[in-house]
């Protein structure tokens, strides 16, 4: 999806880091309780220090839903998260994304047209009433609305297992999008075999499958992935273990299945943080997730050795778009009485997406 962020006005890109920090402090003070800043764990420290609450995508959606007072929610994260916040907050609240180009390449791998086409194609070969669509939080509001209409739900990496168990109480088959890895890793964790899963390639007729494969599979996994998490490999784990035989490997479930199988623990960003906190002093932990979270954990736990599983840094380039300059700009515009970069979801879409999000919130 094309979202064009206009260049920042003069006085932002050339301001010094200290000057921007002073201006953010002043703008936040002027706005007081009218503004609430949310920060996803992948944000850089420079931005994270301004967050009134931080969390993973599930935690932040809960916080947004419970945040009834603030008139403005400034979301330091990516577009799909801001959309979810807009859906879950009240009509008197406005959600703002400091840089409109902060999207998610994985979320963009599934769009409404291709999912509707897939649904129709599946309906031609199997009983569609027994298929439950589940979308990962990392998807557009339009896809969340689609699953809301079709009796499905949203999930995040921290509740995928509970949501999938819920889905299999309602049907025999799940169409899971857009992240094949989260679907596969969770399915295996629940006891399903890899032979019960098929990848649905939206570019091919019937997803590249034959009728029997569609009929027999329990999981139809959309051919989507996160380029940040897909980089972590078994070879990285072997190299780490060779150097640190007692070290612990903790991965995010967006990593490839072989990587997850070879690691010691797997879970959402919040889970990863709790694992590090619970580890004893002296522990050596390799983490397979976005580098800003790994670096923050390393700084916050100097008594432990925390490293990225991939020695080559792998930041999420879209999360990285949020910086102090953009944050300062949106806050100062609010002080001046102008709302810029508001993320809005149209009423019809929001109504059905909310159904899917609220199903998720009720499951866990
Ligand atoms: P979490 O659900 O763990 O916050 O992850 C979101 C995300 O975008 C991971 O790449
Ligand atoms: Fe999307 Fe991957 Fe970035 Fe998460 S880390 S926001 S899934 S591109």
Residue nearest to atom 8 of ligand 1 (CA): 138
pLDDT at residue 2 tops 90? no
Question: Both 131 and 216 in a single domain?
Answer: yes
Span 221-245, pLDDT tens digits? 999 999 999 999 999 999 999 999 9
Question: Both 211 and 182 in a single domain?
Answer: yes
The predicted model gives 269-275 an average pLDDT of 95
Span 313-358, pLDDT tens digits? 779 999 999 999 999 999 999 999 999 999 999 999 999 999 999 9
Instruction: Determine if ligand 1 sits within 6 Å of the CB of residue 61.
Output: no
> Tell me, what's the pLDDT at 1?
55
| d(CA 271, ligand 1 centre) in Å | 11
Number of domains in the chain: 3
In the block, residue with structure tokens 């003069």:
10
Label residues 36-75 b or e (16+ Cβ within 10 Å = b): bbbbbbbbbeebbebbbebbbbbbbbebbbebeebebbbb
Ligand nearest to the CA of 159: 1
Which domain, by its residues, includes 276?
Answer: 229-308
Question: Both 292 and 220 in a single domain?
Answer: no
Task: Give the CATH number for residue 95.
Answer: 3.40.50.10800
Residue where a domain terminates, one of 211, 226, 241: 226
Question: Both 187 and 255 in a single domain?
Answer: no
Instruction: Determine if ligand 2 sits within 6 Å of the CB of residue 56.
Output: no
In the block, residue with structure tokens 């769009």:
111
Q: List the single range of 138-152, 195-209, 305-319 with lowest mean pLDDT.
A: 305-319
Domain for residue 354, yes or no? no
Mutate to test the pocket of ligand 1, among 269, 271, 357 (most ligand atoms within 8 A of CB): 269
Question: Both 253 and 282 in a single domain?
Answer: yes
The predicted model gives 172-200 an average pLDDT of 98
Q: Is the pTM of this model over 0.85?
A: yes
Ligand 2, residue 317: give the atom nearest the CA. Answer: 3
Domain for residue 125, yes or no? yes
């Amino acid at each position: 999806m094309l979202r064009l962020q206009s260049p920042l006005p003069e006085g932002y890109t050339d301001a010094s880091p200290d000057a921007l920090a002073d201006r953010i402090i002043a703008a936040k003070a002027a706005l007081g309780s009218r503004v609430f800043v949310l920060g996803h764990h992948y944000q850089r420290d420079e931005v994270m220090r301004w967050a009134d609450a931080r969390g993973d995508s599930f935690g932040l959606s809960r916080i947004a839903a419970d945040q009834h007072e603030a008139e403005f929610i400034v979301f330091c994260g990516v577009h799909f998260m801001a959309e979810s916040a807009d859906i879950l907050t009240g009509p008197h609240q406005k959600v703002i994304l400091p840089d409109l180009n902060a999207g998610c390449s994985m979320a963009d791998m599934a769009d409404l047209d291709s999912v509707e086409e897939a649904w129709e194609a599946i309906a031609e070969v199997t009983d569609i009433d027994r298929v439950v669509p589940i979308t990962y939080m990392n998807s557009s509001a339009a896809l969340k609305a689609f699953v809301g209409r079709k009796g499905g739900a949203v999930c995040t990496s921290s509740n995928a297992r509970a949501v999938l168990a819920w889905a299999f109480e309602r049907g025999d088959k799940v169409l899971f999008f857009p992240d094949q890895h989260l679907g596969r890793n969770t399915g295996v964790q629940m006891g399903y075999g890899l032979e019960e899963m098929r990848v649905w390639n939206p570019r091919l007729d019937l997803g590249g499958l034959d009728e029997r494969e569609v009929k027999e599979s329990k999981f139809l996994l959309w051919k989507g992935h996160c380029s940040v998490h897909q980089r972590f490999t078994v070879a990285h784990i072997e190299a780490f273990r060779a150097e640190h035989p007692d070290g612990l490997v903790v991965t995010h479930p967006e990593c490839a299945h072989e990587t997850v199988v070879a690691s010691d623990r797997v879970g959402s960003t919040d889970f990863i943080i709790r694992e590090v906190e619970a580890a004893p002093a002296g522990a050596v932990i390799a983490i397979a997730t976005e580098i800003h979270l790994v670096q923050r954990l390393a700084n916050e736990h100097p008594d432990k050795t925390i490293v990225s599983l991939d020695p080559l840094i792998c930041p999420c380039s879209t999360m990285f778009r949020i910086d102090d300059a953009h944050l300062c700009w949106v806050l100062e515009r609010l002080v001046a009485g102008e709302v810029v970069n508001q993320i809005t979801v149209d009423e019809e879409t929001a109504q059905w997406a909310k159904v899917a999000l609220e199903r998720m919130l009720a499951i866990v």
